[in-house]
Amino acid sequence: GTLGILIPPSTGFVIYAILTEQSIGRLFLAGVLPGLLLLSAFILTITIMCWVRPAFGPAGPRTTIDEKSRKLLGALPILVVILLTIGGIYAGLFSPTEAAGVGAGLVILYGIVTRTLTVRAFWEASKDSIVTTATVMLILIAAHMINPFLALSHIPTVVGEFLAGLEAGTIGTLMVILFVYLVLGCFLEGFAMLVLTLPIFFPVIVDLGIDPIWFGVLVVLTLEMGLISPPVGINVFIVKSVAPKVELGTIFRGVLPFWLAMIATLAVLIAFPQISLILPNTMFN
């Protein structure tokens, strides 16, 4: 649940790009390596937990090489679609919007060829796409309504002067902003936070000379950390609804190692910005 918004295609990156007038393609590429890094951190966390407590991950049924090969081949078409869409953006063959059309078209074609796509499934997928698009548009409309208020109230200027008065330096100010996102993430939905806070914090980031693409990756990761942080980690309550017999405290204790893994990943991304920037910079060079 915390990887979906970081690994492209990501609605969080789309909203961030529109609100800050950044390149969606650059943000998508910037999320690839951090997403893989976070995935590796989760795998390492699970490995350590199962090494300490083998009961956490009991052995599953044995499978043959042939069975494994068939399953991997079954996943190959979707992997090809991902590589073509992301690779097409990276190679400059098409824009992110065109890549979305190419990806959707290939998946529809695959469903038709394999006879797994029914008319009902296509209709439901179309409705979901319309709902998602309308939701994003409503969020952006709200953002444009808030911006004039912020400009007239001079809130961004006041916040910028306050952060400058801390004299914490570039990295120190960045960490203060990320801490604010982490705290807000415990109570607010991620997209709402972007709409409310980016008009305030983004001018400060620009004045500090921080790369907006790098900052976007850090913000998205921090938002996801908030979704599993107490007292109101939204993802934790979703898990609770799926497993109602499990105590809420047990779920929060269960996510703690992964929260620490996300903290470690965030620290690495702050220390080494090129992990986020190498792919987008290569694409535009």
Considering its fold, how many domains does the chain have in total? 1
Written as six digits, the tokens of 9 are 């295609």
pLDDT averaged per 10 residues in sequence order, the chain, 285 residues: 76 84 84 91 93 87 87 86 81 79 89 87 90 79 72 70 73 86 77 80 86 91 82 78 84 88 92 90 70
Model's pTM, two decimal places?
Answer: 0.76
- pLDDT at residue 275 in the model: 92
In a domain, 21, yes or no: yes
For 59-88, give the DSSP string: ------HHHHHHHHHHHHHHHHHHHHHHHH
b/e sequence 58-84, b meaning 16+ C-beta within 10 Å: eeeeeeeeeeeeeeeeeeebeeebeee
In a domain, 275, yes or no: yes
In a domain, 72, yes or no: no
In a domain, 97, yes or no: no
Contact partners, residue 185, CB within 8 Å, separation at least 6: 193, 222, 223, 224, 225, 226, 227, 229
Look up the domain containing 161 and give its range: 11-60+135-284
- pLDDT at residue 117 in the model: 86
- pLDDT at residue 147 in the model: 66
In a domain, 162, yes or no: yes
For 242-285, give the DSSP string: HSTTS-HHHHHHHHHHHHHHHHHHHHHHHH-THHHHHHHHHHH-
Which whole-number Å values give the CA distances from 8 to 144, 262, 271, 277, 279, in the listed order? 25, 18, 22, 15, 13
In a domain, 219, yes or no: yes
In a domain, 256, yes or no: yes
In a domain, 113, yes or no: no
- pLDDT at residue 62 in the model: 86
